Structure 1
Amino acid sequence: MTRKKNDNQFIGNKYGFFDIKNKEFVITRPDTPSPWVNYLTNGQYHGLISNAGGGFSFYLSPRDSRITRWRYNSMPMDRPGRYIYLRDKASGKYWSLTWQPTPHARYKKYECRHGMNYTKISTEACGVQSEATFFIGEDNLEIWLVRLKNKKNAPVSLDVYSYAEMCLGHALVDLINQPNDKHFNDVHFVRDAQFLISSKRYWVTYSSATVAQANKAWNKWVFMASTLPVAGFDGAKDVFIGPWRSEENPVAIEQGVSFNTEITAGDAINSLRCPIELPAKGELEFCFMLGIVDKTGDDMEHTRQAESAASALVKKYRNLNQVKSQFQMLLDRRDDYLSAFQAQTPDPELNLFINMWNQYQTKTTFQFSRDASYHHGGLLFGRGYRDSCQDTLGVIFTKPQWGRERIIEMSARQFKDGSVYHCYYPLAGGGERTGHSDTPLWLPMIVVAYLKETADFAILDESVKFDDGGAASILDHIIAAVEYLKTKLNDKNLVYIGPGDWNDTLDYCGRAGKGISEMNTCIYAYILREMSDLLRRIGRAEKADEYENLYNVIKKSINENLWDGEWYIRAINDLGDPIGSKDSPEGKIFLNAQSWAVISGVAEGERAQSAMASAGRLCKTPKGPKILHPAYTQVNGNIGLATRCVPGKKENGAVFNHPVSWAYLAELLLKHADTAFQYYKQALPINPVVDIDRYEMEPYVYSEYVTSPDHPTFGQASHAWLTGSSVWMLRNTMDYLLGIRPTYDGLVIDPCIPAQWKSYHVARRFRGCIYDIEIENPGGVSCGVKSITLDGRPLAGNIIPPQTDGKKHKVKVILSDE
């Protein structure tokens, strides 16, 4: 359990703490249980970096346009990365400024600060103190800004080496066909401008394995430069590292030389050597830069054009004032992003996450989907349609334009019949159509959310092409999704499960086309209700009535066919066997079946209470409710992969944070403030329940799941960062716990808070204005609004009407259950 050290610091665990003032997580020792990672991005050029300097970079797609290498499952782990070596010329000692890959060096100091899209790693060795700041500027290049300080009373002569191992194009081909793929690599040194430039003469963008040979080059050049004069360089990995060696002891650094290698085939690296002199107690600041420019052709003329474009960027960023200006711009953008929602409540952990880390994680999932992490390679599958839609919910309140652009992008991934790609390839095009029934429904979900946030109804008239030809308005796109689901209803108006629903491991329930999903059906019901409301507001009453009637038919069917006495059945397979029933030998209750019945309004009254109470009782763990109970111990070929997972992990009984977030929402909708807040607190990554060495993952972001007590490694987390749980935890807390929720008519004030809270404050940006909201709770209630004033004027009801003057407005709310 964390504790507050002072107003600006949380003690997180033995590896680090939260610096509230600077909005950073500070890692104080490098040997974390696993690499603790951060994301660098400008929206196009992306990178991952660990607390030890590991990670990789890519442009738009981590599969199709990978810039640098990172070896999955490598030993030592987390290799390679962005490395800056220092070598003392007098002693021959050398070390990396990021701890790895030279942990043998005697470091007197180590500290890593992960901030929003930047990382600072500070070390001290051999009397030299360093700080390396990694970030990406507005142009498509990453900056490695270094500050050195000589702590000794004598001058020191050093060589500084940069190091990055190159992928140069298609990462999967590089990984599995490296002996052949490396024959197309080019690295050469541009002598007059003093930078390395690299590319590949062969580029695959196929979405699946094939013997076909692409006859094209990668469309990028990579360059590496420094603000320091360059004395040497290397482009050949085998020469720089040497045989039977690793990044820990490169022969070039050991000998204090560069071999000045340029290659037309072989494993490519970018390394520059720059000599520096540090006077006694002296300081020096410099940077390396690694970036990309377009390749428009293979001949020398086009190469010279690329070199010219790279030279212009190198010239721009060799000005350290420009580099510092770029970093300040990044900090300013961070503050603007976070300013759309800030809360001060009696709970410091909630404040910490809602004001910074939860927002940052949802921004990251929006930009990276499930493409690139230390757990998602982004190599085999395309970008998830469902993921990319729901991630939009986490950014529309602060960057509505991003939401608008994503809606248009997702509409273009739809087919004329209303179906969509389940996974798609943003750079290569195309995708995979799997037949998942729920996937098309996430498009209307985000359109409705966007409209409630912005009132930008003009988007409904935007014309967007279908993937298979023709075009339609956004309104017709989302209607097409709803109409498509009609074809997925059985004779009882329940939605087929097909190859799975949100739970992709219930993948053999419906392969014969008969199995149904309660969750799919509830999501469809939810969308029908939302669409009916929208259509009525825009004058489409007939269609609104149709969807409302279908909603009621489906609601009745679920309650007649899938109620099991105390909770809802999760699915019925092709054989007619219920999944998640009291009569099931294992997997008797599923969390999602209960929560989505409540979220959709299908479950009301006693059934809603019973369903969530049953889930809370049977799925209970110290880290939140499990995805199902009891875990499967026998493989069932008519259910799917969930039964093949070991009990307590992944979809077989783990504490899956995404379903936990929906249970949290369901309890908020039922006004169960204590249970809801308990789920919220249990799920926070800052509260691992077990020792941090068992938990392993980053304590500043949600992980996909936490191992439940059904497995001996209870408390071990996995798949940090890129999880849909982040966006739902954020929006549930903003909209339903703190209770400041966008609607078509304005901001609804409808809290569901711990009764012991006496007051709290929220600043919320909404349609161009800032609402400064003070909520007082003199009677110690959890729910209920007694009065609201807007700029001193009393309001009727609990909706703040949208203001149009672009100013800050003062809102005062008094809670009462009377």
Structure 2
Amino acid sequence: MSWKLTDKHFILTNPQELRSWYNYISNSDYGIKISHLGDAYSTTIKEPRTVVTNYDFFTPNKGRFVYIKDSDTIWSPSFYPVEESLDSYKCLHAPGYTQFDSIKNDVRVCHSIFLPQKGTFEIGLINIKNHSNRVKKISVTPEVEFLLYDSFGVDPVYYSWYTNSSYEKDTNSLIFKKLQGGADTVTGFFTSTLSPSFYDASFFAFKGNGSQRKPESVINGQLKNSTSGGDPYIGAFQFDLELKPGEEREFAIFLGVDKNNIQLIKKDFPTTDEVKKEFTIVKEDWLKKINKAEIEQLDDSIFKNYLKTFFPYQIYQQSEGLVRIPFRGYRDVAQDAMSLSYYNPKGAKDIILTMCTKQFDNGRCLRQWNTGGGFNDERDFRDLAFWLPIAVERYIQNTGDKGILDIKMKYFQSETEESVYSHCIKGINYSLQIGDHGLVKMGVGDWNDALSGLGLEGGSVWLNQFAYYALEKLEILDNLTVENHNLNINSLKDTLYKGVMEYWTGEWFGRGISDKGVKLGLEDRIFLLPQAWFTISGMGKRDPEKASIALDNMVKKLSTPNGLMICDPGWDEPDETVGNLSALAPGLAENFAVYNHASLYGVYALLMANKNSEGMDFLKRALPMYKDYTQTRSEPFVLVNYYNGGYYKDKEGNGGIPWLTGTVCWLALGLFDFIIPKKLKIEE
């Protein structure tokens, strides 16, 4: 097998080109997304963001590339961009860093990319060793393309018109100044611990008559010392080294924003000794942040290795890093906070307090806010407000910090401040709008964004269940504060329950009803959510027999080798009642597919109902390390958003959208609520 997941990192020994497999690296100031082929970009984290380096989302031709010229041979330790075959290749993705370690013609190059503990810059540590029995003259050329814009949504020619570049010899630095908003500038830089032999700031000068794969300057063995304005602009240094047999050399490169960082770097990292000390600290810090003693109780397995590495790391990166940039969704970050509260209570608390500031003073919530400063998504999805008390209750359960309820926070576009508890109440009052059909009105939609055709006055069975769940959590919060509300919780729960029972078919629960009276998900079609959430919500305690029947039929009718389908059958023709869900290409996302977020709702419900063997079986089906990567084509170390359902057979099992999924939250809840307490195992 060409990959291995250890209890510290993921190792790939074949530069497969099925598609890029990414790692995310971030501190509180800056983040990088980088693949096993070296394609990458970086942005600042805090709002408003700056996209520091450029990227091509269709072709992996911009990244953290290093060109090695050894006589007439040109190659890259990350395989891309040169694509020259290597004698050995290794990519190591780990919490906090990515490392390429490859050999060609007896020259070994190790390139480690990481971030300092804080600061808006990144570090590349490059080590070269001559393993041959003769002297080697080698040119090493690291290269990266800058952007310095607020998003990727900019014309690739136009963006460079307002940027200038220069070289500062006294600091060995390329400087890029982008005019922004009149006299304001964003400054990017590219510098090194070692003085370069040559440099280039113009991509056109660097490329010449060659290509990104084989730039003319690299082929000719000499960069052009170019600075320019109006070109795509890069940071590229050429280091000419002569290595005796067995000799090795190393140096570090730094790139980022804010020219003041150059002096900080020269002071804190004058040599690679200081760089390596920082690298060690960063690696140790990440191991501390993702460690949970409870995981050690589990038997050694690849599942345990995953739980010690990329499972918690995905929680961190999705919650605090680049994964949800530029948009952050209300329900999405609520679930982030729930899982993050196990590992970083302060981070979870910050997310919850931010959620309060994205709620209007009538209780309605933003669906998504734009961290780049652009337009927000203000569509009125009725599930949003219910997520706040659920997230708060889970946070308090994990931390004991009931004081969060009394913290006063402003509303969105308002100077009014009220307690977090009041924000919870106001949201519930707003969203609990029940129609004559007995269901909570859809508004624009519920959790399943693609189910867009039921109409503003349509109703959702799942919303009734979810509102019931939120009220159960509110009852817990009521005992932790002296504040009062005017909600008759028992009466409201009765109403919500009765509404759901009107959509019981005898075998499963329906999904909803349109504003034209068309019911969805009855005899002809089954949806996962209402079956799982009848149990999760607590409604199942009122009728355990129906709860069990619903789960059994969920398993019977929605089971696939890749997990539980979100509904069956899907749609191969548009349906006005369903809306966007029926317009999705069959096999993608929520249509004819295993949508992992929903599938993990099913897993959680099964574990909650003590259907443990089925729950663990479907959990295993969701986990990427138990799959054939040539079929999934996706990272074996992180959860993906969905698996293609195979409407088109050649697509079956393909993984879609790695890293970005609420699946990881519900795995966390299942892990700490049931799997560890019950000592459950995955059959390897």
Normalising by structure 2, what TM-score?
Answer: 0.95
Q: Distance in 2 between matches of 1:155 and 1:30?
A: 29
Q: Secondary structure at the match of 1:706?
A: strand
Which residue identity does 2:574 align to in structure 1? V
Please give the residue correspondences for 1:589-668 in structure 2 after superposition, counting only pairs within 5 Å.
Answer: 589-603=526-540, 604-668=543-607
Alignment partner for residue 230 of structure 1, among 188, 196, 211? 196
Q: Indicate if the aligned counterparts of 1:370 and 1:387 stay in contact, CA closer than 8 A.
A: no
Q: Indicate if the aligned counterparts of 1:61 and 1:427 stay in contact, CA closer than 8 A.
A: no
User: Structure 1 173/186 Cα, relative in aligned 2: closer, same or farther at 3 Å?
Assistant: farther
Which residue identity does 1:711 align to in structure 2? Y
Q: Secondary structure at the match of 1:637?
A: coil
Q: Give yes or no for the alignment of 1:576 onto 2:517.
A: yes
Tell me, which stretches of 5 or more residues in structure 1 are unaligned? 1-13, 203-214, 294-305, 373-377, 740-750, 758-818
Which residue identity does 1:133 align to in structure 2? S
Q: Indicate if the aligned counterparts of 1:97 and 1:130 stay in contact, CA closer than 8 A.
A: yes
Q: Distance in 2 between matches of 1:539 and 1:530?
A: 16
After superposition, give the CA deviation of every residue in 1:164-222 in whole Å (9 maximum; x if it has no partner).
Answer: 01111133343xx22222211222111211101113213xxxxxxxxxxxx34675321
Q: Distance in 2 between matches of 1:145 and 1:70?
A: 22
Equivalent residue, structure 2, for 1:44: 29
- Structure with a larger share of its residues in helix: 2
User: Structure 1 590/657 Cα, relative in aligned 2: closer, same or farther at 3 Å?
Assistant: same
Alignment partner for residue 317 of structure 2, among 364, 383, 400? 364
Please give the residue correspondences for 1:309-458 in structure 2 after superposition, counting only pairs within 5 Å.
Answer: 309-341=261-293, 342-346=295-299, 348-368=301-321, 370-371=323-324, 378=326, 382-428=327-373, 431-458=376-403
Which residue identity does 1:60 align to in structure 2? I
After superposition, give the CA deviation of every residue in 1:87-136 in whole Å (9 maximum; x if it has no partner).
Answer: 23xx24322222111113x4211111111121111111132111111111
Equivalent residue, structure 2, for 1:496: 441
Q: Percent identity over the alignment?
A: 25
Equivalent residue, structure 2, for 1:800: none
Q: Distance in 2 between matches of 1:634 and 1:755?
A: 38
Which residue identity does 2:397 align to in structure 1? K
After superposition, give the CA deviation of every residue in 1:138-177 in whole Å (9 maximum; x if it has no partner).
Answer: 2221111111110112222222212001111133343xx2
**Over aligned residues, Cα RMSD in angstroms?**
2.1
Equivalent residue, structure 2, for 1:34: 19
Q: Secondary structure at the match of 1:312?
A: helix
Q: Secondary structure at the match of 1:504?
A: coil
Equivalent residue, structure 2, for 1:207: none
Equivalent residue, structure 2, for 1:19: 6
User: Structure 1 563/536 Cα, relative in aligned 2: closer, same or farther at 3 Å?
Assistant: same
Q: Distance in 1 between matches of 2:313 and 2:19?
A: 21
User: Structure 1 343/680 Cα, relative in aligned 2: closer, same or farther at 3 Å?
Assistant: farther
Equivalent residue, structure 1, for 2:478: 535
Which residue identity does 1:122 align to in structure 2? D
User: Structure 1 632/360 Cα, relative in aligned 2: closer, same or farther at 3 Å?
Assistant: same
User: Structure 1 217/548 Cα, relative in aligned 2: closer, same or farther at 3 Å?
Assistant: farther
Which residue identity does 1:100 align to in structure 2? Y
Q: Distance in 2 between matches of 1:113 and 1:568?
A: 46
After superposition, give the CA deviation of every residue in 1:478-530 in whole Å (9 maximum; x if it has no partner).
Answer: 111111113x32235521122221111111221xx221111222111100111
Which residue identity does 2:99 align to in structure 1? K
Q: Distance in 2 between matches of 1:674 and 1:502?
A: 27
Q: Indicate if the aligned counterparts of 1:169 and 1:218 stay in contact, CA closer than 8 A.
A: no
Equivalent residue, structure 2, for 1:476: 422
Q: Give yes or no for the alignment of 1:717 onto 2:655.
A: yes
Q: Give yes or no for the alignment of 1:704 onto 2:631.
A: no
Q: CA deviation at 1:368?
A: 3.6
Q: CA deviation at 1:390?
A: 0.6
Q: Indicate if the aligned counterparts of 2:26 and 2:322 stay in contact, CA closer than 8 A.
A: no
Q: Secondary structure at the match of 1:46?
A: strand
After superposition, give the CA deviation of every residue in 1:619-651 in whole Å (9 maximum; x if it has no partner).
Answer: 111121111011212210221111122333321
User: Structure 1 278/596 Cα, relative in aligned 2: closer, same or farther at 3 Å?
Assistant: same
Q: Give yes or no for the alignment of 1:550 onto 2:532.
A: no
How many residue pairs match? The answer is 678
Equivalent residue, structure 2, for 1:148: 128
Equivalent residue, structure 1, for 2:467: 524
Q: CA deviation at 1:471?
A: 1.2
Q: CA deviation at 1:357?
A: 2.3
Q: Secondary structure at the match of 2:539?
A: coil
Equivalent residue, structure 1, for 2:630: 693
Q: Distance in 2 between matches of 1:165 and 1:476?
A: 48
Which residue identity does 2:197 align to in structure 1? A
User: Structure 1 550/465 Cα, relative in aligned 2: closer, same or farther at 3 Å?
Assistant: same
Q: Secondary structure at the match of 2:103?
A: strand
Q: Give yes or no for the alignment of 1:563 onto 2:515.
A: no
Q: Give yes or no for the alignment of 1:459 onto 2:401.
A: no
Q: CA deviation at 1:732?
A: 0.6
Which residue identity does 2:454 align to in structure 1? C
Q: CA deviation at 1:63?
A: 9.3
Q: Distance in 2 between matches of 1:717 and 1:73?
A: 17
User: Structure 1 417/62 Cα, relative in aligned 2: closer, same or farther at 3 Å?
Assistant: closer
Q: Give yes or no for the alignment of 1:157 onto 2:144.
A: no
Alignment partner for residue 79 of structure 2, among 83, 99, 102? 99
Q: Distance in 2 between matches of 1:383 and 1:729?
A: 20
User: Structure 1 647/756 Cα, relative in aligned 2: closer, same or farther at 3 Å?
Assistant: closer
User: Structure 1 367/70 Cα, relative in aligned 2: closer, same or farther at 3 Å?
Assistant: same
Q: Distance in 2 between matches of 1:370 and 1:54?
A: 16
Q: Distance in 2 between matches of 1:329 and 1:429?
A: 36
Which residue identity does 2:426 align to in structure 1? A
Q: Indicate if the aligned counterparts of 1:499 and 1:506 stay in contact, CA closer than 8 A.
A: no
User: Structure 1 184/310 Cα, relative in aligned 2: closer, same or farther at 3 Å?
Assistant: same
Q: Indicate if the aligned counterparts of 1:18 and 1:24 stay in contact, CA closer than 8 A.
A: yes
Q: Indicate if the aligned counterparts of 2:33 and 2:322 stay in contact, CA closer than 8 A.
A: no
Q: Indicate if the aligned counterparts of 1:189 and 1:196 stay in contact, CA closer than 8 A.
A: yes
Q: Secondary structure at the match of 1:686?
A: helix
Tell me, which stretches of 5 or more residues in structure 2 are unaligned? none
Q: Distance in 2 between matches of 1:579 and 1:524?
A: 20
Q: Distance in 1 between matches of 2:396 and 2:467?
A: 19
Q: Indicate if the aligned counterparts of 1:649 and 1:711 stay in contact, CA closer than 8 A.
A: no
Equivalent residue, structure 2, for 1:188: 166
Q: CA deviation at 1:356?
A: 2.3
Q: Secondary structure at the match of 2:112?
A: strand
User: Structure 1 549/532 Cα, relative in aligned 2: closer, same or farther at 3 Å?
Assistant: farther
Equivalent residue, structure 1, for 2:235: 270
Normalising by structure 1, what TM-score?
Answer: 0.80
Q: CA deviation at 1:387?
A: 1.0
Q: CA deviation at 1:370?
A: 4.6
Q: Give yes or no for the alignment of 1:727 onto 2:665.
A: yes
Q: Secondary structure at the match of 1:192?
A: helix
Q: Distance in 2 between matches of 1:645 and 1:263?
A: 45
Q: CA deviation at 1:41?
A: 0.8
